[in-house]
Amino acid sequence: MRYFYLTFCCLIAFQTGMSGQERIELSYYLPEGITYDPAIPKPSEVIGHEVGAWHVTHDKLVQYMQTLAAASDRIQIEDRGRTFEDRPVLLLTITAPENQERLETLRRDHLQLTETGASNLNPADMPVVVYQGFSIHGNEPSGANAGLAYAYYLAAAQGPEIEKMLRDMIILMDPSFNPDGLQRFAYWANTNRSMHLNPDGNDREYHEVWPGGRTNHYWFDMNRDWLPVQLPESRARIKTFHDWYPNILTDHHEMGTDATFFFQPGEPSRVHPLTPGRNQELTAEIGTYHAKALDGIGSLYYSEEDYDDYYYGKGSTFPDVNGGIGILFEQASSRGHIQESENGILTFPFTIRNQFVTALSTMEAAWNMRTKLLEYQRDFFADMRNTKTKKGTRGVIFGDAKDGARAWHLAEILQRHKIRFHELRSDTEIDGKTFHQGKSYVVPMDQKNPKLIRAMFEKRTTFTDSLFYDISAWTFPLAFNLDYAEMTRLPEIGEAVSTLKPLQGGVDGQSAYAYLFEWHEYYTPKVLNGLLQKGLRAKVAKERFSMDENKYDYGTVMIPVQGQTMTSDEIYTLLQDLSKGTGVQIHGAQTGKTMGIDLGSREFDPIHTPKVGLLVGNGIQSYDAGEIWHLFDTRYDMKITKIDTDYLNRADLSGYTDIIIPGFRGSGISEQLAEKLKEWVSEGGTLIGYRNTAQWLDKNELLDLEFRRDTLKAEDISFEQRSAFQGAQVTGGAIFETRTDRSHPINFGYTNDRLPLFRNTNIYLEPSENSYENPIQYTSTPLLSGYISEENAKKISGSVPLKIGKHNRGKVILFTDNTNFRAFWYGTNKLLMNAIFFGHIM
């Protein structure tokens, strides 16, 4: 296809300091020689400005897409749910009008291609399904803005070619993968835009304030959530994915301003081994269409470098383990409206046009490769059906004897991915571990997509490449800290679970004496916080005991009935309300006499009502901060005050029991703020620091740490090899085994003395000489899954990921690892909760 050139006159306009706004026309983006249906509204007629003149806000994007769908019989629009900020998660289904009328039949036939009996279907007669998604990173907006022109083109373009193409394909258009982030960034770029566009990179327009528009409401990177599906936006799109099984899925991003344009395939050595070779061949063939289209408008580009196809939680990689082809696009970002770059002046419209032409070349590739792509998809699933009858692993079992919620949440992920699983018929022992009916699930490999199951459950410790764009391990049962086993023979299982029963929980009887609950269930912090906030007093058991044939582990919470400000009836009702739906079972005790410590023993310590502050803002890692905010706010219903580092100096901290520093970014926080926090700790506060706060805590004498230093020297490494050499030392995200002392309050609620931790730093701390001061310690060969360099593997051996110290009347707790990673590391969330509720007794 040929394109109409307007770059030249745009450049003239910008270089002479004139506003580019009136010079941009829709024709700049659109292919030439096509007529358009005048009944279809153009973007500017609805949103009030030309595409690229301003950054489209999500509100206006929605307005245009709805108007377009109402005007076009090629488009159906669907509202698939809400973001955290209540924005609609839209989907446009675009195809020929005659296909729209039998869309459900076409969808069922398409799905049939992935099932047994697919050989009866003729792919040559079937439409190809293309899922096109834009700007999952909100501050990479050229994709979503290109979507305006692209949707217009699809609705309005006339002629036999486009009509034939639309008959042969179904386009699922996701106009904004990240509505909240797009809105945030558009606000920034527009409010700082001068009427006379200014390409000076120092302008405020190009330097968003913290946390920036990349992430969603809770500052999550949405492009890491395709596999864990913890966020509402991902949940909507994963449902669409499994409704349709698209043949191609595209993911339009931006990268640094001085770059050009990237399309996949990426680094050939960095493809996940479960992805078939044929997938990369097809990716390369699709790439030839992008190359041709970009050649046609004179845009520079590259592929087979920088980016990889490894972590299946990314939009461009997830389809690769599901019989489709994922394509990543990366456009150099103007980040605002116009910027100077190594490649000359980079205008926002130019970035939009590259995204537009590659959206169109995707369509062209899909159309030309239609039968091939459909056959590939059919064969992908048929091959799995044909090979899985061989001997080997028949299934996976996972569960936790004392915590139903973590297993439930992993099962929920399986359900979202249409992976079949079953409950046990009875309690079963496998590899020395007991799996309980109702708290364990079995996943047979004999089902539609065993590759996806492997991708989620396997441990992998050998790799062909030592560089990873993202994490190298995500083994779900380890992230959830569940007992699990791969089985060569399946135990007795019941029917497949079609709907997960909601978590139960409750109180087993009213008591006039005391209530008890163990600390193992995932949602115990929610229950405990709920009752403390209502003014109830509670205590925690530092020793184990038993009563009425029930055993109570370390960390059991006891609520006496006497001496409270509530009546016995009110307490009973409150505990029922709080525990309902959490999985937490509360026992009404009729006596204080136990086997072991009695309920009046000094070994029960009072629990204080927490008031928690979280440092956010400049100098703080926004991902880590967002994970903690999300954990408190959405899982445990706990209030957490986000204190901005710019405001900290003026804040009265005296009311806070705990303050969390999620990890520093850049230069961290000032000396003055360090002094203020130190003073607050001296007066009895608990300061909880993560990851690279280690050096800061040590320097400010809040903790005395001994670091295992890096001694690695480059030997026989050439200049060309240096970045690979350095990259190989990065621990980008892998899983390691620790040994835990279960009697220590930091480990209350854990049932095993082994706990997997996620680590993405290279901070290695020497253990204390006193073993009781090392409640969590890496084992001697701790790598469970993922990549670590040989050098670092030596350093981690026997080191400690946790340090607890006293500073005058206060406490300082350091985690070198992220215990809240990306909302799916359920297994270590309790460590932070233990630091909050039990920090004072450590």
Complex with Zn ion: residue 689 or 733, whichever CB lies closer: 733
Q: How many CA atoms lie within 13 A of 819 on its CB side?
A: 24
Complex with Zn ion: residue 253 or 439, whichever CB lies closer: 253
CA–CA gap between residue 84 and residue 234 (Å, rounded)? 12
Contact 153, 114 (CB under 8 A): no
Complex with Zn ion: residue 133 or 555, whichever CB lies closer: 133
As measured in angstroms, the least distance from the Cβ of 111 to Zn ion is: 30
458-467: string of b/e by CB count within 10 Å (b at 16+)? bebeeeebbb
As measured in angstroms, the least distance from the Cβ of 466 to Zn ion is: 23
User: Judged by CB under 5 A, which stretch of 40-48, 90-98, 136-144, 522-530 contacts Zn ion?
Assistant: 136-144
Q: Is the CA virtual torsion 344, 346, 347, 350 positive or negative?
A: positive
Supply the DSSP symbol for 632: I
As measured in angstroms, the least distance from the Cβ of 825 to Zn ion is: 22
Number of residues that bind Zn ion (CB under 5 A): 3
CA–CA gap between residue 675 and residue 807 (Å, rounded)? 13
As measured in angstroms, the least distance from the Cβ of 137 to Zn ion is: 4
Complex with Zn ion: residue 468 or 826, whichever CB lies closer: 468
Residues 95 to 114: which contact Zn ion by CB under 5 A? none
Complex with Zn ion: residue 318 or 815, whichever CB lies closer: 318
Supply the DSSP symbol for 249: E
Instruction: Tell me which residue has its CB nearest to Zn ion.
Output: 253
User: Judged by CB under 5 A, which stretch of 131-139, 394-402, 657-665, 756-764 contacts Zn ion?
Assistant: 131-139
User: Judged by CB under 5 A, which stretch of 47-55, 250-258, 375-383, 755-763 contacts Zn ion?
Assistant: 250-258
Which residues make Cβ contacts (< 8 Å) with residue 437, sequence separation at least 6? 423, 424, 425, 426, 427
Complex with Zn ion: residue 339 or 740, whichever CB lies closer: 339
Please report, for residues 322, 644, 645, 672, 703, the alpha-carbon distance to residue 696 in angstroms, rounded to integers and kept in the order given: 45, 18, 15, 13, 9
Complex with Zn ion: residue 224 or 417, whichever CB lies closer: 224
Complex with Zn ion: residue 471 or 688, whichever CB lies closer: 471
Complex with Zn ion: residue 320 or 817, whichever CB lies closer: 320
As measured in angstroms, the least distance from the Cβ of 62 to Zn ion is: 22
User: Judged by CB under 5 A, which stretch of 135-143, 146-154, 672-680, 727-735 contacts Zn ion?
Assistant: 135-143
As measured in angstroms, the least distance from the Cβ of 223 to Zn ion is: 6
Complex with Zn ion: residue 137 or 451, whichever CB lies closer: 137
Angle between helices 829-838 and 524-533 (to 10 degrees): 30
**Alpha helix locations (H) across 534-608?**
568-579
Complex with Zn ion: residue 311 or 572, whichever CB lies closer: 311
**How many residues are there in the chain?**
842
CA–CA gap between residue 13 and residue 776 (Å, rounded)? 63
As measured in angstroms, the least distance from the Cβ of 762 to Zn ion is: 25
Residue that has been written with the tokens 């901005």 in this structure: 644
**Alpha helix locations (H) across 580-704?**
622-630, 671-682, 693-699
As measured in angstroms, the least distance from the Cβ of 214 to Zn ion is: 7
As measured in angstroms, the least distance from the Cβ of 377 to Zn ion is: 26
As measured in angstroms, the least distance from the Cβ of 314 to Zn ion is: 10
User: Judged by CB under 5 A, which stretch of 62-70, 194-202, 246-254, 362-370 contacts Zn ion?
Assistant: 246-254
> How many helices (H) and strands (E) are present in the chain, helices listed first?
23, 34
Query: How many angstroms separate the first and last alpha carbons of the chain?
Result: 69
As measured in angstroms, the least distance from the Cβ of 221 to Zn ion is: 8
Count other Cβ atoms within 10 Å, centred on residue 33: 9
Complex with Zn ion: residue 253 or 416, whichever CB lies closer: 253
Q: Applying CB under 5 A, which of residues 253, 678, 759, 807 lies at the interface with Zn ion?
A: 253
Which residues make Cβ contacts (< 8 Å) with residue 128, sequence separation at least 6? 168, 169, 170, 247, 248, 366, 367, 369, 370, 373, 374
Complex with Zn ion: residue 58 or 539, whichever CB lies closer: 58
Count other Cβ atoms within 10 Å, centred on residue 32: 10
Complex with Zn ion: residue 137 or 759, whichever CB lies closer: 137
Supply the DSSP symbol for 766: P
User: Judged by CB under 5 A, which stretch of 17-25, 140-148, 157-165, 702-710 contacts Zn ion?
Assistant: 140-148
As measured in angstroms, the least distance from the Cβ of 346 to Zn ion is: 17
Which two tokens mark 773?
């001061």
Count other Cβ atoms within 10 Å, centred on residue 164: 12
From 271, 415, 233, 403, select the one nearest 823 (Cα to Cα). Answer: 233
User: Judged by CB under 5 A, which stretch of 41-49, 138-146, 242-250, 485-493 contacts Zn ion?
Assistant: 138-146
Neighbouring-strand partners of residue 559: 515
Complex with Zn ion: residue 251 or 518, whichever CB lies closer: 251
CA–CA gap between residue 248 and residue 267 (Å, rounded)? 19
As measured in angstroms, the least distance from the Cβ of 188 to Zn ion is: 16
Contact 812, 529 (CB under 8 A): no
User: Judged by CB under 5 A, which stretch of 134-142, 507-515, 647-655, 738-746 contacts Zn ion?
Assistant: 134-142
Cis peptide upstream of residue 211 (ω within 30 degrees of 0): yes
Which residues make Cβ contacts (< 8 Å) with residue 588, sequence separation at least 6? 507, 508, 509, 510, 511, 513, 515, 572
Supply the DSSP symbol for 208: P
Residues 458 to 487: which contact Zn ion by CB under 5 A? none
Complex with Zn ion: residue 222 or 734, whichever CB lies closer: 222
Complex with Zn ion: residue 207 or 242, whichever CB lies closer: 207
CA–CA gap between residue 11 and residue 257 (Å, rounded)? 17
Integer-rounded Cα radius of gyration of the chain: 28
As measured in angstroms, the least distance from the Cβ of 335 to Zn ion is: 12
User: Judged by CB under 5 A, which stretch of 139-147, 186-194, 535-543, 770-778 contacts Zn ion?
Assistant: 139-147
Residue that has been written with the tokens 């070198």 in this structure: 816
User: Judged by CB under 5 A, which stretch of 251-259, 640-648, 736-744, 753-761 contacts Zn ion?
Assistant: 251-259
As measured in angstroms, the least distance from the Cβ of 183 to Zn ion is: 17
User: Judged by CB under 5 A, which stretch of 182-190, 253-261, 297-305, 457-465 contacts Zn ion?
Assistant: 253-261
Which two tokens mark 64?
């245009």
Amino acid at 693: T
CA–CA gap between residue 38 and residue 718 (Å, rounded)? 61
User: Judged by CB under 5 A, which stretch of 50-58, 137-145, 512-520, 678-686 contacts Zn ion?
Assistant: 137-145
As measured in angstroms, the least distance from the Cβ of 61 to Zn ion is: 18
As measured in angstroms, the least distance from the Cβ of 131 to Zn ion is: 17
Q: Applying CB under 5 A, which of residues 23, 58, 137, 587 lies at the interface with Zn ion?
A: 137
**Would you tell me which residues interact with Zn ion (CB under 5 A)?**
137, 140, 253
